[in-house]
Amino acid sequence: MAKQTDEDLLNTFKSDPYKGFDLIVSTYQERLYWHVRKMVIDHDDANDIMQNVLVKIWKGLANFRAESALFTWLYKIATNETLTFLKQKKNKFSTSITELEGQLPGGTDSESLISGDEIQIRLQLAIQRLPEKQRTVFNMRYFEEMKYEKMSRILSTSEGALKASYHHAVKKIEAYFSRD
């Protein structure tokens, strides 16, 4: 099946909402999931957030005005839902970094880790120590390779502020790695 454009997906949704929604979900769900997962780490949390994201997409799709790309709109919903989840979780639980280490694959004290896995785990720990905004910007720029212009539209923040957040995040991660 040929890849459908956003216009095709939205036209299908207008003529048959259930089929259109299914096509939109099948087109974008995996990318949205991995965006959410990088921010929360835990698979179950990411799935819970994605359920909320899909509900919000379903409820808002009929009113989508196509002033931005469909994926930009979907990404913004996923980002906002994830940030809301993280704030609620932070308020509910005061999770320490030590507790968080236990959630990472293999923990950090596993002797069976190879150096690549250890570096990845340490990077995730460093990222989790960042303030929410810096963590979000770092994930979007580093992992998603998203341009600042697109991030600006998604996060409703100036490109300059995003560049500064990314710069500070990188410096904090570098400091985390150089402390050993």
Is the overall model pTM greater than 0.85, yes or no?
A: no
Q: How confident is the model at residue 117 (pLDDT cuts 50, 70, 90)?
A: low
Taken as a whole, the chain contains a residue count of 180
Q: Has residue 93 got a pLDDT over 80?
A: no
Q: What is the pLDDT of residues 35-59, one digit of tens each?
A: 898 888 788 999 999 999 999 999 9
Report the distance separating Cα 93 and Cα 116, nearest Å. 31
- The closest of 68, 70, 64, 54 to 22, measured between CA atoms, is 54
Q: Locate 25 and state its tokens.
A: 């979900």
**Domains contained in the chain, CATH given:** 1-94 (1.10.1740.10)
Instruction: Give me the mean pLDDT over the 57-67 stretch.
Output: 92
Q: What is the largest CA-CA distance in the chain?
A: 59
Mean pLDDT of the chain: 83
CA distances, 170 to each of 65, 126, 141, 161 (Å): 36, 10, 11, 14
Q: Is 63 exposed, middle or buried (0-12, 13-18, 19+ CB in 10 A)?
A: exposed
**Residues contacting residue 87 through CB under 8 Å, at least 6 positions apart:** 132
CA 112 to chain centre: 29
- The closest of 18, 21, 139 to 9, measured between CA atoms, is 21
Q: What is the pLDDT of residues 121-162, one digit of tens each?
A: 788 888 888 988 899 899 889 888 889 998 998 888 999 999
Q: Has residue 113 got a pLDDT over 50?
A: no
pLDDT at position 86 is 81
